[in-house]
C-alpha cells in the first residue's frame, strides 16, 4: 500500500484529463493480492485502474483506495480450441494491447511459468502463420482490463465487433473478496436467472432484468439481454461489478492481405453517398471519416503527404482478404464507387503493406492527438477548459441527419470543432476545441442537446468510450430513471456495499444502507 503523495499524483488522473482524489494506492501482482485488498477495504471504496487511457474518467478515483492493475502484466498461457479452430490467449488485466500486438507479431512470449500444454499450443501457433487479436482502439497503450471494462472498440470493430465478441473467459474478484470464473457458453442467464459458484464453493444466484438495447454500436451501461452469457454482463460494466484480473481472449488468423485506402471527396454529401454505397456493395473491415475541419487541422499540424486543397472530406476504408487478387478487386471497385460519388481514383492513397498501412493509421490517429495538443496548450491559459468529445452512434437511417445537425449547430454556435471517426458504424466523434470558457460552456450545453437528439432517434450516448463519470447524466437521459434503478439493482447483487468504482455509471455513489 502506498499513500498518495507527490509521487502518485498521476494516478489521480486519466486520459479524460479530469482529476480526483484518493487516500492510498495498491499495485497487486496476483488475484490473491486483489482479494486481500478487498477483504481489508471493508466499506472503503475502491477505484480500479488499468493503463488510465480511458476518456470518460472511469479510472479517476473519488476518495478511498486505488487498485491499480498495471503490475498484473503477464501473459500466462495459450491454448488451441480445436472445435473453433482458433487460439485462446490468457492474459492478466494489466497486459497492454501493444504488448499483445508485439508478441503475436514476433511470436515470442515470456513463457516462464507456462504449463506444458501452453508450450505445446505455442509450438502449434508458431507453425500456423500469423494470428491477431481483432479489437483495435486507437490507444494501443490501453490495458486488456480497461478494454474489457468499457467494451472497447476501434476502426476494425465495424467488421470484427467490439472487445466483448473476443472474450472467452474472465476471472473476476468480487467486492467481498470471492473469486468467480465466467466462461462463455457455460455460465448462462436462463429465464432471467443466473447461478454461479465462487472459488470457495459459495453459490451466488440472482435475477437479472432485460433492458432493450439501442440497435447501434453501444457501450452505455450494463449489457442485459435474455438468455445471455453472464460474462457479457461483466464486459462493459466499467469496474462496478467486480475486478477482472485475468481474461482469455480469442485470436484469429491474420488475413493474408490487408490493404487500406484513404479516399478524398469534394464535399460532405458526396462522402456520405460514398459511405452508403461502400457499405452496401463491398465488405470492408473499417470505414472512417475525416470532415473538412479535421483535414484542415491535419494539414496544418501533422506530417502527411500532400493532399489537394479542393478535396473537402476524406474516408478511410480498410479491407482484409485471403489473397492479393481478391483484395485488389475490392479496391478497384472502391475506386469506381468513389468516381460515381464525385471523387477521383487519382485522389486516393492506397497502402498495400504493413509499413504503408501504419502511415494511414498514423494519419487517422493524428486527428485526436492534434486536438489534445491544442487543448493542452489552451489549458495552460485557462485550466477550466477541457476537450469536449462526443461518442454517440445512431441507426444507419439517421446518419446523414446527424452529420447535418452537428455541422449546423457547430456553425450556429461559432465553435471550433473537428468531426471524425467510425462512420461505418454511424459513430462519429465531435471534438469541440474551446477557445475560451464561454466556448467550453456553450459546448457542454450543445453536447447535452445532441445527446437528447441522438436518444430520440434510437441512438446511444456512448458507443465505445463508456459512461464513466462524465456521461452519467446522459446515461440517465438514454435509459431513464427506471433503467438506472434496474441497473442499480444488478450492481447490488454483486457489490452490495457499493464500494467498487463509485461514481461510474450512476449519478451518485451507492453506499451501504441506501
Does 353 interact with another protein (rule: CB under 8 A)?
yes
Quick one: CA dihedral 137, 268, 387, 428, positive or negative?
A: negative
Q: Which of 113, 127, 280, 303 binds another protein (CB under 8 A)?
A: 303
Q: Which stretch binds another protein (CB under 8 A): 205-213, 338-346, 367-375, 421-429?
A: 338-346
Least separation in angstroms between residue 451's CB and another protein is 38
- The sheet that has 417-422: what strands, in order across it? 348-351, 257-265, 313-321, 286-290, 417-422, 427-432, 388-389
Q: Which stretch binds another protein (CB under 8 A): 81-89, 181-189, 299-307, 420-428?
A: 299-307
Q: Which stretch binds another protein (CB under 8 A): 115-123, 265-273, 348-356, 468-476?
A: 348-356
Least separation in angstroms between residue 346's CB and another protein is 4
Does 332 interact with another protein (rule: CB under 8 A)?
yes
Q: Residue count at the site for another protein (CB under 8 A)?
A: 26
Q: Which stretch binds another protein (CB under 8 A): 80-88, 241-249, 286-294, 304-312?
A: 304-312
Does 344 interact with another protein (rule: CB under 8 A)?
yes
CA distance 66 to 11: 8
Helical segments of 210-301, H only:
231-234, 268-281, 292-301
CA distance 47 to 30: 17
Least separation in angstroms between residue 127's CB and another protein is 12
Does 463 interact with another protein (rule: CB under 8 A)?
no
CA distance 181 to 308: 54
Does 334 interact with another protein (rule: CB under 8 A)?
yes
Q: Which stretch binds another protein (CB under 8 A): 239-247, 283-291, 355-363, 442-450?
A: 355-363
CA distance 161 to 167: 11
Contact 174, 237 (CB under 8 A): no
List of residues 6+ apart from 164 with CB closer than 8 A? 151, 223, 232, 235, 236
- Other C-beta atoms closer than 10 Å to the C-beta of 87 total 22
Q: Which residue has the cell 454500436?
A: 217
Q: Which of 197, 204, 267, 304 binds another protein (CB under 8 A)?
A: 304
Three-state DSSP class for residue 360: helix
Least separation in angstroms between residue 198's CB and another protein is 38
Q: Which of 258, 351, 371, 403 binds another protein (CB under 8 A)?
A: 351
Which value, to the nearest 10 degrees, does the dihedral of the CA atoms of residues 156, 265, 428, 354 take? 20
As to burial, measured by CB atoms within 10 angstroms (0-12 exposed, 13-18 middle, 19+ buried), residue 151 is buried
Q: Which one, of 503, 496, 439, 442, lies nearest residue 469 by Cα?
A: 503
Does 93 interact with another protein (rule: CB under 8 A)?
no
Question: Closer CB to another protein, residue 204 or residue 302?
Answer: 302
Q: Which stretch binds another protein (CB under 8 A): 87-95, 197-205, 281-289, 302-310?
A: 302-310
CA distance 273 to 291: 14
Q: Which residue has the cell 465478441?
A: 165
Does 340 interact with another protein (rule: CB under 8 A)?
no
CA distance 66 to 53: 16
Does 348 interact with another protein (rule: CB under 8 A)?
yes
Least separation in angstroms between residue 29's CB and another protein is 16
483 sits in which H/E element: helix 472-494
Question: Closer CB to another protein, residue 308 or residue 449?
Answer: 308
Q: Which stretch binds another protein (CB under 8 A): 14-22, 281-289, 342-350, 500-508?
A: 342-350
Question: Closer CB to another protein, residue 17 or residue 347?
Answer: 347
CA distance 231 to 223: 10
Does 258 interact with another protein (rule: CB under 8 A)?
no
Q: Which stretch binds another protein (CB under 8 A): 50-58, 194-202, 267-275, 350-358?
A: 350-358
Q: Which of 113, 127, 306, 383 binds another protein (CB under 8 A)?
A: 306
Quick one: CA dihedral 7, 13, 18, 22, positive or negative?
A: negative
Does 301 interact with another protein (rule: CB under 8 A)?
no
Per CB under 8 A, contacts with another protein among 104-143 are none
Q: Which residue has the cell 467498487?
A: 500
Does 360 interact with another protein (rule: CB under 8 A)?
yes
List residues near another protein by CB under 8 A. Answer: 261, 303-306, 328, 331-332, 334-335, 338, 344-356, 359-360
Amino acid at each position: 500500500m502506498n499513500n498518495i503523495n507527490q509521487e502518485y499524483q498521476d494516478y489521480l488522473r486519466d486520459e479524460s484529463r479530469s482529476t480526483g482524489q484518493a487516500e492510498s494506492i495498491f499495485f497487486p501482482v496476483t488475484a490473491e493480492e486483489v482479494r486481500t485488498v478487498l477483504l481489508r477495504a471493508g466499506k472503503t471504496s475502491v477505484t480500479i485502474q488499468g493503463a488510465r487511457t480511458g476518456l470518460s474518467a472511469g479510472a479517476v478515483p473519488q476518495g478511498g483506495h486505488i487498485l491499480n492493475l498495471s503490475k498484473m502484466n503477464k501473459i500466462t498461457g495459450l491454448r488451441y480450441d480445436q472445435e473453433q479452430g482458433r487460439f485462446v490467449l490468457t492474459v492478466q488485466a494489466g497486459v497492454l494491447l501493444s504488448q499483445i500486438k508485439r508478441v503475436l507479431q514476433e511470436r515470442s512470449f515470456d513463457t516462464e511459468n507456462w504449463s506444458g500444454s501452453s508450450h505445446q499450443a505455442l509450438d502449434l501457433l508458431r507453425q500456423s502463420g500469423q494470428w491477431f487479436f481483432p479489437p483495435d482502439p486507437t490507444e494501443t497503450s490501453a490495458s486488456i482490463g480497461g478494454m474489457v471494462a468499457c467494451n472497447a472498440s476501434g476502426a476494425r470493430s465495424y467488421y470484427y465487433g467490439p472487445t466483448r465478441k473476443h472474450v472467452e473467459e474472465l476471472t473476476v474478484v468480487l467486492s467481498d473478496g470471492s473469486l468467480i470464473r465466467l466462461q462463455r457458453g457455460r455460465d448462462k442467464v436462463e429465464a432471467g436467472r443466473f447461478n454461479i459458484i465462487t472459488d470457495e464453493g459459495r453459490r451466488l444466484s440472482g435475477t437479472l432484468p432485460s433492458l432493450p438495447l439501442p440497435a447501434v454500436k453501444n457501450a452505455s451501461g450494463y449489457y442485459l439481454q435474455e438468455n445471455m452469457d453472464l460474462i457479457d454482463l461483466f464486459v462493459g460494466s466499467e469496474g462496478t461489478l467486480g475486478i477482472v484480473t485475468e481474461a482469455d481472449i480469442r485470436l484469429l488468423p491474420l488475413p493474408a492481405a490487408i490493404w487500406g485506402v484513404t479516399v478524398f471527396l469534394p464535399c460532405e454529401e458526396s462522402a456520405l453517398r460514398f459511405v452508403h454505397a461502400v457499405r452496401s456493395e463491398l465488405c470492408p473491415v473499417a470505414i472512417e471519416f475525416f470532415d473538412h475541419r479535421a483535414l484542415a487541422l491535419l494539414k496544418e499540424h501533422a506530417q502527411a503527404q500532400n493532399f489537394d486543397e479542393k478535396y473537402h472530406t476524406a474516408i478511410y476504408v480498410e479491407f482484409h482478404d485471403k489473397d492479393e487478387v481478391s483484395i485488389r478487386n475490392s479496391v478497384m471497385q472502391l475506386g469506381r464507387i468513389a468516381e460515381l460519388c464525385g471523387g477521383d481514383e487519382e485522389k486516393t492513397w492506397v497502402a498495400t503493406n504493413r509499413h504503408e498501412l501504419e502511415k494511414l493509421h498514423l494519419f487517422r490517429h493524428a486527428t485526436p492527438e492534434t486536438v489534445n495538443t491544442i487543448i493542452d496548450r489552451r489549458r495552460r491559459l485557462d485550466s477550466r477548459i477541457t476537450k469536449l468529445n462526443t461518442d454517440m452512434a445512431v441507426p444507419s437511417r439517421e446518419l446523414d441527419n446527424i452529420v447535418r445537425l452537428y455541422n449546423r449547430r457547430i456553425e450556429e454556435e461559432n465553435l471550433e470543432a473537428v468531426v471524425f471517426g467510425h462512420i461505418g458504424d454511424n459513430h462519429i466523434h465531435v471534438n469541440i476545441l474551446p477557445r475560451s470558457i464561454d466556448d467550453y460552456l456553450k459546448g457542454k450545453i450543445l453536447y447535452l442537446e445532441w445527446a437528447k437528439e441522438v436518444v430520440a432517434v434510437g441512438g446511444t450516448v456512448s458507443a465505445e468510450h463508456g459512461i464513466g463519470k462524465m456521461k452519467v447524466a446522459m446515461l440517465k437521459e438514454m435509459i431513464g430513471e427506471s433503467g438506472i434503478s434496474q441497473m442499480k439493482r444488478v450492481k447490488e447483487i454483486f457489490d452490495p456495499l457499493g464500494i467498487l468504482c463509485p461514481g461510474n455509471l450512476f449519478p451518485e455513489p451507492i453506499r451501504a444502507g441506501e
